[in-house]
Structure 1
Amino acid sequence: MKQLLLFFSGFCLLASAQAQTSTQLFEEAASNGRLANEGFKRCDRYVTGWLAQADSATGLIPRNLKESRDFWNAWDAAADNYPFMVMTSAILKPALFKGRMLDMLNTEKKMTARIGNLPDTYSFTRKAFRSEKVDTSQVLFGSAEYMKDGLIPLTEWLGKSPWSDRMLAILDDLEKIVRLPIHLEGQFYGNSADVETAGDLLQVLSRMYWMTGNPSYLKRAVELGDYYLCDANLPTRSLQRLRLRDHGCEIVAGLSEVYAAVHYANPAKKKQWQPYMHEMLDCVLAKGRNDDGLFYNEVNPVTGTILDKGIADTWGYTLNALYTVYMLDSKPAYRDAVLKALNALDTRYRNFDWEKGSSDGYADAIEGALNLYAREPVPSVKPWLDSQVQVMWGMQQPNGIIEGWHGDGNFARTTLMYSLWKTAGITATNWDEQVLYGAASSKDNLFVSVTNTNTTPWTGTLKFGTQLHKDHLNLPVNYPRINQFQEWFAVDPKKTYILINRTNTNKTTRISGQALIDGYPVSLKGGEGLQLIIMP
């Protein structure tokens, strides 16, 4: 009898602790919903603000709102700003997404294609290309940037779409002008443009090989990889200046992506490249970092001289490459490099001046942290992210514009990433800024909170996150990559889940992963809320 009482008492204590934990997780989910909602509203205002600045004749947005408002260009307006207007609309306002956003794409294709499908800079006042003469270096650079920074993340989120079709058309036509080694003429681009463009193409070709299965994309990526991963041209041997911030760090990331591709598709090539890949990364770690494990803007990788002591806001992009190779080769030093940097953020890099006060610096730094935190959830990173996104949000103007240049798109890109972290990848149809939804996880279980703060009813569906790397890009592994959208609770369409409706007396049902992805229907009266638990 005594043993039975002890057992019953222990069971009650366990049940009480579980109930308390559930309450805390639902409170966290509700708090996350408020943060996600603010982020979504800010992105919505950003789109409204920039659409008001579009050219009245073409509907295209300008490069910036100051000295460059007379023209649209591929490597800034198209690459950095427009795509995240598209993505914001896809998540929040489907009618705008299917209407004006698609119209802008069709206009851009019609008016800016200059060499086949390859885009060139278009002047609104000239109603023609900004330059009468074709500059193939400019066309190549713009095409590579448009694909890597804009069309790739859109494709990862949307899957096959008119935007992925645009990217593949550009990629296929690039063979008309690309020759190895890549060399861009003119001072306009700076001394890192060659490796930036090569890095862009390595990322695009590697991901598109997996998405399409087209062997020519892998062949072209391997040709680029062969050029750099060798005695003569290894970046850390051959370059006197290596930028580890954007406009240079892309080559390290790009080489890691083609290295990942051949790991699965061509093991003999991977074995050939492995000593060079490790040598390059070891050199970057030895000569490119400060004491906190973050990277300097620019170094001489041969001598180890620090050429620019500023700390790169894109530190996460370089660490993506290190973590990718860690995943493939199980080299602990590369994971340790990631952990070292993540552990330094909250104590050393709050309110840090990443790019002379620009929101773009915060956007890139926060993106890097989110991407790596998704793989290595260092506890101190969460408060750093929550605090620093507030700093970035504080830079947005009342009209929705942030700073009035193409970097505003990066504000939206990272804000969407942050909001989707707070919802665990869930989006809602029939989006209403008065309906707050967020999520919190505990082990494999997801706790979801939805609150309708309207006085009127709201009906919509909760669409759960998917395995984007697998479902849309067909990647063999979810390695970290620039501008990817993270997977926080990726539902497997082939699995069955348990759904507990805490609001409806803990009603428990079995539901397929595909049904969660397609959308779980929700109807709420004014002021009403909903709590769900999702279990594998």
Structure 2
Amino acid sequence: MRNAKIFISSFILLISLSLSLLAQQKQDLAFAEAVKNGVLVNEGFNRSIKYVNAWTKYADPGTGLIPRNIKESKDYWNAWDAAADNYPYMVLTSSILMPEYLNTTALNMLKTEQNLTSRIGKLPDTYSFTKKGFLNETPDSSQIIFGAAEYMKDGLIPLTEWLGQSPWSDRMLGMLNDLPSLTRIVKEVKDGRFGKSAVVEVNGDLLQVLTRMYWFTGKREYLDWGVEIGDYYLNDERLPTVAMDRLRIRDHGCEIISGLCEVYLATYYSMPEKRNQWQKYIHQMLDRILAIGRNADGLFYDEVNPITGEILSERLADNFGYTFNAYYFVHQIDSKPAYQEALIKALSALNRKYRNHNWEGNADGYADAIEGTLNLYNRVPIPSVKEWLDSEIRVLWAFQKPEGIIEGWHGDGNFARTTLMYCLWKTQGIVPTSWDEQLNIGAVDDNGKLKIAISCKTGWEGLLKFDLPRYKDLMHYPTDYPRINQFQQWFTIDASKKYTIKTANLKPKTVDGAELIKGLPVKVAPGEAVYLTVSKGKD
């Protein structure tokens, strides 16, 4: 009996030791991954800084504004390209990594742009550097509407979701408030490239801006305006899948899908009777696109005829993630399992068949595909998708030239946007208050505990700022629904809660969440690696 007890005790001890070793091994693996993430973050952040510095060299000497591109359109600034797609990500990069640049060069660009390019109230028009005035003698209201809508949705919304109230959010609200002097529902855009798709693009842009500004400001008039546009489309006559013989499920068309679904989501929370009225049309639109708009792997085609079901362009839409955003949150509120299944099917195919896929044939295509996928991975963390993201970011980064320019057009900003999103995933939202090109910061969420690895060859001392629930604290959204151009939330800190910080050879420290949001002081000796564990609650 005694021998049996000794055997049992020894067996229990052996199990305990094995479990302890397994736990230690798991912890080491989490920190090892954090170290790898830190190397990726270092490269990504340095590439983003290089992009900002390179484009700054091409700014017009007289105004300080960046041109539409550095080739055939280097003589002018425009709202829907230079302002919407490039400049905002110079601002966002500098807000994270280059504070002096943000408060001088980036802010001065905004002030100059407002002074020089505002043509109808605060609405901007294209500005020629050589003319030192507007490119067109007579203002074209449809182009001014198009430019303002693109600038707000693609550029100023992402900045506002990251910064909260700022001079950039003020710029957006100024344009939005002046837009009704020209139109409330866009019915014509003079555009030779996209035809009727330009009209639904602009209305889709406005729906996204109006919905988000309704939450941001609390002003009901923005939602009422969005509902006005929603009513225009969500009916038997003008539903995009009923009234259009060409529906782009990619950029310059897919905006209407997301826009209508975003205003639908807002009515779910604020106008349930309107949500009930619209529900069948939202489902009809999304069902039709699933039925005729996908390849065998579940990825969307560029363009289809939703009336006949004909595929007009078999090229795959790099913006597939943007459209699946809408399917995700409509499933969340309406319990539509087929929408979730469609999303999972598409994501599951990426690593198997779409590595190094030729998305649109340029860096912007890769950026959009990676961004949309990252947004969905944030909600549906399929392991193979992580592998695909880590693979494809290298393809995107390979587009950057030694001087820092990517391809020399406004799409270069999207390179930085997606790179920053990727890096913030790898830090779990942590950013340093001062950047050093030798600094490595990586983090991993290990079952609710944040494992952080920091190193710097030359040594570093500063603050690590942890992310807060921006969707709620800055934007006042009712939920963190997936949306175009959002900067994802990973490990977020509740300012009212306590957190425990652990590091080797030091007693655990309990701190307020508000302190972590302001910044945790960290000092790293040259060549040293510091490992931190952050967990919720007191030790």
Same fold (TM over 0.5): yes
2:378 is the counterpart of 1:399: no
**What is the TM-score with the length of structure 2 in the denominator?**
0.97
| Structure 2, gaps ≥5 residues long | none
Which residue, out of 148, 158, 163, partners 1:158? 163
- Residue 435 of structure 2: aligned partner: 431
Structure 2: distance between partners of 1:346 and 1:166? 41
Q: Which moved more, 1:459-468 or 1:305-314?
A: 459-468
Which residue, out of 264, 269, 279, partners 1:264? 269
When the two structures are aligned, how many residues end up with a matched partner? 531
Structure 2: distance between partners of 1:270 and 1:159? 28
- Residue 449 of structure 2: aligned partner: 445
Q: Deviations over 1:80-137 (max 9, x none)?
A: 0000000000100100001100000000000000011001000000000000101000
2:104 is the counterpart of 1:102: no
User: Could you tell me which amino acid in structure 1 is paired with residue 363 of structure 2?
Assistant: S
Structure 1: distance between partners of 2:190 and 2:323? 26
Question: In 2, are the aligned partners of 1:436 and 1:453 still within 8 Å (CA)?
Answer: no
Q: Deviations over 1:272-322 (max 9, x none)?
A: 100000000000100101111110000000110000111000011110111
- Residue 305 of structure 1: aligned partner: 310
Structure 1: distance between partners of 2:501 and 2:383? 28
Compute the displacement of 1:506 (Å). Answer: 5.0
Structure 1: distance between partners of 2:288 and 2:252? 19
Q: Look up the SS of the partner of 2:107 in the other structure.
A: helix
- Residue 528 of structure 1: aligned partner: 528
For residues 14-413 of structure 1, the aligned pairs below 5 Å read 14-187=19-192, 189-356=194-361, 358-413=362-417
Q: Look up the SS of the partner of 1:385 in the other structure.
A: helix
Structure 1: distance between partners of 2:89 and 2:13? 55
Structure 1: distance between partners of 2:34 and 2:206? 39
User: Could you tell me which amino acid in structure 2 is paired with residue 431 of structure 1?
Assistant: W
Question: In 1, are the aligned partners of 2:185 and 2:229 still within 8 Å (CA)?
Answer: yes
Structure 1: distance between partners of 2:73 and 2:186? 31
**Aligned sequence identity (%):** 55
Structure 1: distance between partners of 2:190 and 2:251? 20
Question: In 2, are the aligned partners of 1:494 and 1:513 still within 8 Å (CA)?
Answer: yes
Question: In 1, are the aligned partners of 2:194 and 2:252 still within 8 Å (CA)?
Answer: no
Structure 2: distance between partners of 1:305 and 1:522? 59
2:436 is the counterpart of 1:422: no
Structure 2: distance between partners of 1:4 and 1:511? 40
| Structure 1, gaps ≥5 residues long | none
Question: In 2, are the aligned partners of 1:229 and 1:273 still within 8 Å (CA)?
Answer: yes
CA RMSD between the two structures = 1.1
Structure 1: distance between partners of 2:191 and 2:457? 56
Structure 2: distance between partners of 1:292 and 1:441? 31
Question: In 1, are the aligned partners of 2:186 and 2:202 still within 8 Å (CA)?
Answer: no
**What is the TM-score with the length of structure 1 in the denominator?**
0.98
Q: Deviations over 1:223-257 (max 9, x none)?
A: 01111111111100110000001000000000111
User: Could you tell me which amino acid in structure 1 is paired with residue 454 of structure 2?
Assistant: V
Compute the displacement of 1:515 (Å). Answer: 1.1
Q: Deviations over 1:146-182 (max 9, x none)?
A: 0000000000001110000000101111111014353
Q: Look up the SS of the partner of 1:380 in the other structure.
A: helix
Q: Look up the SS of the partner of 2:383 in the other structure.
A: coil
Q: Deviations over 1:60-95 (max 9, x none)?
A: 000001110000000000000000000000100100
User: Could you tell me which amino acid in structure 2 is paired with residue 137 of structure 1?
Assistant: S
User: Could you tell me which amino acid in structure 2 is paired with residue 364 of structure 1?
Assistant: D
- Residue 499 of structure 1: aligned partner: 501
- Residue 473 of structure 1: aligned partner: 475
Structure 2: distance between partners of 1:401 and 1:33? 24
